[in-house]
A and B are shown apart, each in its own frame.
Chain A
Amino acid sequence: MTNLETLKRPDLSTVKIEFTQANSLKLSGTITSKEPDKSLGAFFRTVHDAAVSGRLPEVRLDLRGLTFVNSSAIRMFIDWAMWLANEQGHRYRLRVVTSPQITWQRVSFSTLAHLAGEHLIIERTP
C-alpha cells in the first residue's frame, strides 16, 4: 500500500508539514510566499498522484495549525479540489480538517465546498 510518508516534503521556512498518521498530513504556520504553488503546490500534486496510483480510500489534510495564508495559497487548495473532481482514475476522499476559529478557513472552505464534488469533505473541528 502506498505510504505518503515516503514522499519528499519541501523545506519551507514559514510552514511545517508533518505526516501525523497513515495518509494524514498536517500543515502549521503561515503561507505568504509569492508563488507557493511552485513548492507546496507541487508537493500537493505528488500527494494527489500517490493517492490515485495507490488507490487510497482517503487523504486527511489537517489545516488547523495554518493560521494565515495569502490568496495564492488558497488557490492551491482550489487546484487540489479540481484535480480530484476531474480525476479520471481512482478518486479518493480528501478530508480537510479546519478550525471554525480561523477566519480564512471558515470563509474559503465553505466557498470551496459548494464547488467541489462529494469527494471533498470539510470537517470543522476546534
Chain B
Amino acid sequence: MNRFGRDATSPLGRRGASLRPGAPDQRTVSGTAPVGQVLVRLMFAPGSSTLESTHSFLAAYTADRLPAAVAQRVSLAAYELLSNAMNYASLSSDVVLEIVQHTDRTIVRTANDAIAARIAMLREQVDKIRSDSEGAFVQELKRSMKGGHTRAMLGLARVAFESGLKLDLETTGQRVRVTAELRRDERR
C-alpha cells in the first residue's frame, strides 16, 4: 500500500484523527499509522489557468486554518507544487492538489500524469533537492537568472530550502505524486 492509502480518502468515515494540536495520535483499529484529515482537495481540468486564484484562496484558507508558522509555508508549498504539476502534467491529465493534516505533520501533495521523460527529470531534481536543498536552490536560482530553465524547478527548491518542507516523489506508471511534508517538530 503506498503512503496515500493510509491517508483519509473518506473524511466522514474517519474522524478518529484530531486536528487539535497536542491531541494524542489515534491509530486505526488494526494498529496501523494514524490517518490524516484531508483539509482541501482540488482537481483541476487539464490546461486550466487556475493557479493565481487558487493560491489566493488557499493562502486565506491556510492562514485561518493553520498556525501562523505553518500556514505561510504550506501555502507556498501548495503554490509551487501546483505550479510544477500544471507545467509538466500531460495535456489530458487532471491535476489533484491536497492539503492533509496529521497530528504530527501537514502534507501538501499533487498528483497528475506525465510522460516518462518529464518524470525522470522531476525525479532527478527532487533527488538533488533532498540531498542538498541549499545547493539545489542556489543552482536553480542561477539558472532562472540566466533564463531558459523552467521556473517550476526553482519553485520546488524553494519549498525545501526556504520553507523547510521535505519533498518526496512517487510514481505508478504515468501517475506521479509529489509530496511536501512539514513535521510539527520542524515548525519554526
- Does a CB–CB distance below 8 Å link A and B in the complex? no
Interface residues of B (CB under 8 A from A): none
Interface residues of A (CB under 8 A from B): none
